[in-house]
Structure 1
């Protein structure tokens, strides 16, 4: 993406994207759109009104310029009401830019050369527009066949973007946005990959390739090393599969860093539920149960690319949860890494088992902060739906700081408690703790309480449950495609940036 200051009404492009606000009898041009609007006799508003445009956020309408401007096509995207006390919200800009680029990418001729003349009066706005545009262009065509699929992929790859902005710092913001989008889209690719093509060894191999490309240190523990090291959660969950588990450790170090952060991602490459088998209708999207690990891997890539002055380690707890004659059974007792014992009452509560191993290992790096991210519970969807992830932590300041980081990145999250009384429900008659509570209520919170048991006193820790937002079952919206979303990647990078400044 290039950044220019010229008037969009004079640009040699295939498409100009402008913004419009709702209000009054007709849509009103947003900042950046005025020169293009003035080039049309009577402005664009009458034509937009005839098309039924009202300026609602993410509303997209395409207009032939008929020579009014050099670009043959003008795309007008809604931004909602014009703000009265400040600039247009960055999240609105990102999602609207994403909606516009999704519409353009769907054309037979592809997006082409696109000039973005949306509000970009500040560096933050410029970055938001750039991020939404990059994310909106995402496609996953790995399994499409034939000339049409190849042509579509070629057109998506050949799209060129120009951002119109005179804001100080716009170029740096656009460059950061490109790095973030590359990471998010990498995470989406992993989540969308068929589970037969992404067994634990494959995910570990993908991490090795990324580490070499990004200059990250990497260590991979295979099934023998996990057994010898006492990683009972990973080996227990993985023992029912023909594809053995892995624990991946990635490291970014900076000579000027004064802080260390650790990210831990759940990497269940397919979750059948094990012997506590899921219903068929709940299993078809369980290729996404490794979305937490994908987000950690993508975030580590972005952290390295941005050269952040922080020491960051990322752990991927990778296994496949399958039923077989060798699978773990309900009432088995596992000895976790570090020595604690867990009674497995439900083999479909496997994520917390692999995460517990990785959390204990991550604390050996003596981090200033540990953040885990996991598609951990169906209860998260019940509590917060499909677009908002939950944030829990062992102290309010840490938890609220993560929520603030997510909000700054335009990722919807909500602070949730870890009620102490839920710990009693995890008591086991034979082991130190059970992996599920005896009652169904508060399942998201009791899973967080379970993980908290593996956090040492004095360690700052937060837990992100992304079960719903990690995979979009419905139609695309804003910059979010159907399928894998890459949720959490940007929040992890923002956390790293904040610790790099401390």
Structure 2
């Protein structure tokens, strides 16, 4: 992971000696319009800049990128006009539009050593996040990595020396880097990230950030009754782990628990998945990756909260020692679960982790996982489903939408709970029908949340991994969703309780 060097500058855009100068365009009724911060550039082109852009096909549509040779008094070699789309109903440009435009620009700046952007005059934090996330590239396994991401970006802001601007730069950079940390973990091939190695990586990242770390191996998990984690990991030659990470806040700080699913590869176990697309199951530990990255971020920004993460890690493989459909597992805490489908494994390791997390008596519990294929059926590849206790679920979803991760609140209809009743055990891990699969999984998890604990589960089965072309600040591969949602929720709890 390489982050461009970001510098606040208050120089006029025309006076910046850079290879590429990024400007924003807005989709107007009669063609592209220039966004805020480009007045002097228009003058440098004798008022003909929009006409020149239009001749090159620019319309100002979201994420559209058009290059124009610089001229006149402009010192940059090239102008890169990136579209912001239409203004909202209040005539404003939304933060997410700036974030995506900045990401689209950063993706086109590979090989550029020094660039500048005027999008920062619209929304500094969104520009920084979009630039950091958009410049991301994972090239560890490339023998010829290609052009390097942009090395340096000047951020044009009216008051560059203002403490508010400096604080915004620091916070937004840290959030972007946390997203990229999660992406690095997700993009690591499963042969190089078994549970033990994932735990080691979490330990390295956590200790470097000053977090307290505890790791339990398979023997300890078995001894203490973590039946879900042991069961899911029993088919693999690479045993499971449970990592606990803690960021200590000031005395009396609110206690928050984070839980993330860490299935380092999911074949479906004995209930084997189809071969087509199985390679994407390298991303089945995306929830855990997001939680680990969020904990590092919490330490870096020193959130005034007491935050503990409980991260189960296992590999779901078929073998002679694998758990079977029909088995009954005794979960951590004593509840029993009849396994009807070994491909519904994430909820089993999460159940153990949730129960352990609740022993710390947190005031809030936030979970993240690639929980169900049903999430994609209901909401598509870009919209996470947020389930949980009604008030907190709605709060998390609203914050997710504000960050651009677009989480959507989902209900837990009471009538679906009965579908999980088992003839053998306290409950089964799936139902006998396909309807409401995401919501049924939410009901399953709710059985392990301590009574009266506000909780939210973020199902990112689709949004965690982009198997299609890059867009905005989102690369192909791991996306880092929902790091920004969790970070925003922690910040909101710190501010408002």
Aligned residue number for residue 425 of structure 1: 419
Instruction: Map 1:29-68 onto structure 2 (within 5 A).
Output: 29-68=34-73
Q: What is the aligned length?
A: 488
Offset at 1:67?
5.0
Matches of 2:277 and 2:82, distance apart in 1: 36
Structure 1 counterpart of 2:114: 113
2:331 counterpart (331, 336, 352) = 336
Partner of 1:189: 184
Q: Does 1:241 align with 2:246?
A: no
Work out whether residues 329 and 347 of structure 1, in 8 Å CA contact, stay in contact via their aligned partners in 2: yes
Say which SS state the counterpart of residue 176 (structure 1) adopts: helix
Q: Distance in 1 between matches of 2:416 and 2:118?
A: 52
- After superposition, where does 1:316-331 map in structure 2 within 5 Å? 316-331=311-326
Check whether the contact 2:268–2:316 (CA below 8 A) recurs between aligned residues. yes
Retained in 1: the 8 A contact 2:44–2:71?
A: no
Q: 1:78 aligns with which of 68, 74, 83?
A: 83
Aligned to 1:281: 276
Which residue does 1:162 correspond to in 2?
Answer: 154
TM-score normalized by the length of structure 1: 0.95
Of 366, 369, 383, the residue aligned with 1:371 is: 366
Q: For 1:120-131, list aligned pairs within 5 A.
A: 120-121=121-122, 125-131=123-129
Greater displacement, 111-120 / 462-471: 111-120
1:95 paired to 2:100: yes
Runs of 4+ with deviation above 6 angstroms: none
What does 1:197-212 align with in structure 2 at a 5 Å threshold?
A: 197-212=192-207
Q: Which sits farther off after the overlay, 345-354 or 14-23?
A: 14-23
Q: Which residue of 2 aligns with 1:348?
A: 343
1:48–1:72: structure 2 CA closer, same or farther, 3 Å change rule? same
* 1:66, distance to aligned residue in structure 2 (A): 3.7
**1:166: how far off?**
2.1
TM-superposition CA deviations, 1:312-349 (whole Å, max 9, x none): 11111100000000000100000000000000000000
Partner of 2:402: 408
Once the two structures are superposed, residues 401-434 of structure 1 have per-residue CA deviations (whole angstroms, 9 ceiling, x without a partner) of 1011112211111110011111111111010000
Q: Matches of residues 276-315 of structure 1 in structure 2 within 5 Å?
A: 276-315=271-310
2-structure distance, mates of 1:248, 1:497: 23
In the TM superposition, residue 170 of structure 1 has moved relative to its aligned partner by: 1.9
Structure 2 counterpart SS, 1:249 = strand
Cα 1:198–1:423 change in 2 (3 A) is same
Aligned 8 A contact 2:45 2:72 in 1: no
Counterpart-to-counterpart distance in 1, 2:447 and 2:293: 28
Aligned partners of 1:33 and 1:118 also within 8 Å: no
Say whether the 8 Å CA contact 2:87–2:94 is kept in structure 1. Answer: no
Contact 2:468 2:476 in 1 (8 A): yes
In structure 2, distance between residues paired with 1:403 and 1:385: 16
Match among 358, 380, 391 for residue 353 of structure 2: 358
The CA RMSD over aligned residues, in Å, is 1.3
Residues in 2 aligned to 1:139 and 1:17: alpha-carbon distance in whole angstroms: 20
User: Is the partner of 1:80 in helix, strand or coil?
Assistant: coil
Query: What is the TM-score of this pair, normalised by structure 2?
Result: 0.96
| Long gaps (5+) in structure 1 | none
Q: CA deviation at 1:43?
A: 2.5
Contact 2:120 2:155 in 1 (8 A): no
Equivalent position SS for 1:81? coil
Structure-2 residue corresponding to 1:4: 9
Report the alpha carbon displacement of residue 37 of structure 1 after superposing the two structures with TM: 2.0
- How many angstroms does 1:28 deviate by? 1.1
Residue 450 (structure 1) aligned to one of 444, 448, 453: 444
SS in 2 for 1:498: helix
How many angstroms does 1:84 deviate by? 6.4
1:28 pairs, out of 27, 33, 54, with 33
Residue matched to 2:481:
487
Q: What SS does the aligned partner of 2:309 have?
A: strand
Quick one: distance in 2 between partners of 1:344 and 1:67? 71
Q: What is the Cα deviation at residue 21 of structure 1?
A: 1.1
* One of 487, 490, 497 as aligned partner of 1:496: 490
Deviations 1:204-224 (A, max 9, x none): 000110111100000000000
Match of 2:135 among 137, 145, 151: 137
Q: Distance in 2 between matches of 1:50 and 1:284?
A: 44
Q: Deviations over 1:261-301 (max 9, x none)?
A: 01100000000000000000141100000000000001001
1:220-235 equivalences in 2 (<5 Å): 220-235=215-230
The whole-number CA distance in structure 1 between the counterparts of 2:453 and 2:47 is 63
Query: CA separation of 1:342/1:196 partners in 2, compared to 1, >3 Å: closer, same or farther?
Result: same
